[in-house]
Structure 1
């Protein structure tokens, strides 16, 4: 790509006279507040991945037992600012999704008008990964912004041949890798695109790749050293998650299931497209306003169209190829970052007035966002409660925590409950509903709980809790700690409404030792 100028804008900053970026920011703010508020009032507990991030945010580490550290660092900052309220994980997920959409808009402004860039951004915002599933703050959702930023920076770097964009690309690519190792798929797509399009024949591109690689390696070096010191634990977890129990038939089934799931998660975008195409067919004369017959895609440069197709479709296609070749299974959520550019694909058909199509796109996008947010909140809140389903959203964490805190106060009246030993989900629900200072001893495993010092962690006592008939993973180390604790008991708890199952909560207390020191004030 070569640098270009003219009527087509080349950056966000050049649009000072346009109101589109303010419209985008307003839309993103409303969407973040809408989803966060509705989930906050409808959920009694966050999802499993969100709870995991809340628990991991107990300390800043260069790596955690299952994943790289960056999403937990962000959660750490949010916890320091707001504590550990229920809504925090929903807010974090929506926040990183909104940031990703901002980079999608910035990319669009490089090769089309601001109105059309906003249009494409609104379109992709209604996909499940940017709406409903953005309430799940995990490493897939947290990677949205960095992958979107990498795509934008690569386009600029290839077009301008400026070293600064390559340096920024190396930095953001390193942050993407510190979020989840699946960033390698996107980087591989970048390389294939540059190879096929002939960019690798230009010395300036190799110079830029070299500079970006140096920055990338500097960013990830501390995590690499942590991996070496900890036997590459997250990579072993990632490898195990891709194992297939059966033969190649199961691999093919996994590929089909993965593809079907992606289509379902893109369904709101398809609904929006159908609405626009229906409008275009119904009143073409009213929307064209002139003899303009050129589609939005035809108005873009051939280089921009190639970039959108290769970089946009590449991750999904390459993932299927890798799965077929290596015989690995696929998990639906791994597709989270694969469809960032799909909003632009409507340009291959749309033509006519920017303002007409932007207005119609905005109306449909807002309606879809409201319907999905309200529907999700109702289904996960009052409906799930009334029918008595054992959903995580209706888990009685506050009630269980109150009973356990009372049990602790009866047996340990002079010391607050600082440590809960359980699995991440159960222990997190207890800890976050007791105090911001109560930590979780995950599965009684110090490697999984690096915020604890093995020499002093149990000095102030520990509450061991699990449910033999509820959700959770109970490790042998946890059960051993339970058996060694002198005070033990249990109580019954109903999951939600009278129609829901009753389960048993077992608890044990290892009392504080004389070495217990008062918590720092």
Structure 2
């Protein structure tokens, strides 16, 4: 399931947000309006990939404000131009949303009952711990560089860097602001923080580390290369740890160990054992049904949980006309009108 976990809408969002930030920086250095237009296109694409991209995009505006760039009339006009272009890019999707009763917003709002205050505190701590785990190789590398004699940053070195305040403003806007806003959604609205929300907060951390460690490469290039190789080797060793050495709780799904290809192949085999028609619709939980779609030769549509409101791309008449495969983690969750029960127990993939 690695492909679906790594290459999804979060990947597109990170690319688009990075492009928007880069175009804004170029626009500040160029008299040409085309960079503001490009920033607007990138921002619109980011919004199309994921609504949550509005948080890091707002962080770009915060960075401009903290850096004093908004004092320029030209910059303010550029932001308005970029916002107009982004709205134009997003307009077709907005029209589709209005035609479908804002189904995407209603889907995003279906997060269940608000968490208790104790659960909110645990969610924040768990979220931060997960982000530290993901950033651990980079943080370890930076720590090793800082601990080595002669490689520490010299006191007062920022005083000679006229661009330091401006860079600091950008790092606050691109990293601190999205992280704070994301964390506040939990206590403010009682939402459980999802680990993948960290992508929108921490995608620029590597730039911050590179800035903090600037100048070190010239002083000890061989040492740095050796440390980088060591950290990379340790990271690969941990990632390649055999699955049988990892303890899992019964009933808990481990995405990295999920037999997605096996499930998709079993579904295809069971479907074609009954009919020669192509499989066009898979019904079930978003993850399991999504894995079948991702690894199918011709990806079928996913009807999440059998709810047409959650999957407006599937119409009831398509289900009647083409049939479907129902994927469930428990046999009791299969519909009573199922023609045949498949050959692969999906629940086994969850460790239960």
1:296–1:211 CA distance, 2 compared to 1 (3 A):
same
Q: Is the 8 A contact 2:137 2:231 kept in 1?
A: yes
Q: Is the 8 A contact 1:427 1:440 kept in 2?
A: yes
- 1:313 counterpart residue number: 176
1:422 aligns with 2:283: yes
Residue 349 of structure 1 and its aligned partner are, at CA, apart by 5.7
Report the Cα offset of residue 174 of structure 1. 0.9
Asked if 1:189 corresponds to 2:59, the answer is yes
Structure 2 counterpart of 1:443, from 305, 314, 318: 305
8 Å contact kept, 1:243–1:329:
no
- Find out whether 1:484 has 2:349 as its counterpart: no
Structure number with the higher helix fraction is 2
Q: Of 60, 71, 85, which residue of structure 2 is paired with 1:201?
A: 71
Provide closer, same or farther for how the CA distance between residues 469 and 406 of structure 1 changes in structure 2, counting only shifts above 3 A: closer
Contact 1:431 1:438 in 2 (8 A): yes
The question of whether the paired residues in 1 share the 8 Å contact of 2:264 and 2:292 is answered with yes
User: Is the partner of 1:330 in helix, strand or coil?
Assistant: coil
Larger radius of gyration: 1
CA distance in 2, matches of 1:230, 1:378: 46
Residue 196 (structure 2) aligned to one of 322, 333, 350: 333
Is the CA contact 1:421–1:465 (under 8 Å) kept in the aligned structure 2? Answer: yes
| Stretch moving more, 389-398 or 270-279 | 389-398
The alpha-carbon distance between structure 1 residues 159 and 461, as it changes in their structure 2 partners (threshold 3 A), is closer
- Name the structure 2 match of 1:122: none
Aligned twin of 1:31 = none
Displacement of 1:227: 1.5
What is residue 268 of structure 1 aligned with on the other side?
137
Of 227, 236, 243 in structure 1, the residue corresponding to residue 106 of structure 2 is 236
| Number of the residue aligned with 2:206 | 343
Q: 1:352 to 1:296 in 2, by over 3 A?
A: farther
After superposition, where does 1:127-206 map in structure 2 within 5 Å?
A: 136-160=6-30, 162-206=32-76
Unaligned runs of 5+ residues in structure 1 are 1-45, 48-88, 91-134, 502-521
CA distance 1:259–1:242, shift in 2 (3 Å): farther
* 1:210, distance to aligned residue in structure 2 (A): 1.7
Q: Does the 8 Å contact 2:24/2:39 carry over to 1?
A: yes
For residues 216 and 277 of structure 2, the distance between their equivalents in structure 1, rounded to whole angstroms, comes to: 65
CA change 1:273–1:207 in 2 (3 A) is same
**Partner residue of 1:455 out of 306, 317, 320:** 317
**What is the Cα-based RMSD across aligned positions, in Å?**
4.0
Moved over 6 A (4+): 385-389, 494-497
Q: C-alpha offsets along residues 358-414 of structure 1, whole Å, 9 cap, x if unaligned?
A: 55444433443343234323344x5469999853444445555555555545544xx
Query: Following the alignment from structure 2 to structure 1, what is the Cα–Cα distance between the partners of residues 81 and 106?
Result: 30
Aligned-partner Cα distance in 2 for 1:325–1:385:
35
Structure 2, unaligned runs of 5 or more:
none
Matches within 5 A, 1:321-400: 321=184, 323-325=186-188, 328-346=191-209, 350=213, 352=215, 354-357=217-220, 359-380=222-243, 383=245, 391-397=254-260
Q: Distance in 2 between matches of 1:323 and 1:441?
A: 29
CA shift for structure 1 position 207: 1.4
C-alpha distance in structure 2 between counterparts of 1:224 and 1:242, whole Å: 25
Q: 1:216 to 1:372 in 2, by over 3 A?
A: same
Distance 1:207 1:465, change over 3 A: closer
Between 1:204-213 and 1:144-153, the stretch displaced more is 144-153
Contact 1:397 1:430 (C-alpha < 8 Å) held by counterparts = yes
User: Aligned pair count?
Assistant: 348
Counting only pairs closer than 5 Å after superposition, residues 215-230 of structure 1 correspond to structure 2 as 215-230=85-100
Q: What secondary structure is seen at the aligned counterpart in 2 of 1:422?
A: strand
